[in-house]
Amino acid sequence: MTRAYVNTVALMTAKAGKPVPDGSAIVLENYAPKLDADGKPVADKDGTWVPDKLAYYEGMEARAGWGDAIPALLRNANWSYAVFTPDKAPRAINQATCMACHKTAATGFVFDWKKVEAKASAR
């Protein structure tokens, strides 16, 4: 299970239905599912797995100029990516993997941006 958070810049942009700007930050909390006695994930009444322990954090942030040194083939505007342990220590990652995957995102290199827009406009 994942919980997503965006900063004020991203939230206000989503609310206005505008493209994702520099200054935006998105953090995901990724949880391992709670397991039953047989080691199978426990689901709630809607069929969604019940979260148990925080497994790791993922984050992405865009700042002006961050993409300047990245080859155009990989560059995702000015986005930079990170992964952290549950105790918030950075984990080593290959950002090229993140960039290659996020190139496929439909809006501004952000997966599910339309969901962010929908939640922001409902506030």
Kindly report the CATH number assigned to the domain that includes residue 93: 3.50.70.20
pLDDT in tens, 58-69: 999 999 999 998
Give CA–CA dist 33/4, Å, rounded.
Answer: 16
Q: How many domains is the chain partitioned into structurally? A: 1
Cβ-based neighbour number of residue 17 at 10 Å: 9
The share of the chain scoring above pLDDT 90, in percent, equals 75
Q: What is the pLDDT of residue 74?
A: 86
Whether residue 100 is contained in a domain is answered as yes
Q: Which domain holds residue 19?
A: 2-113
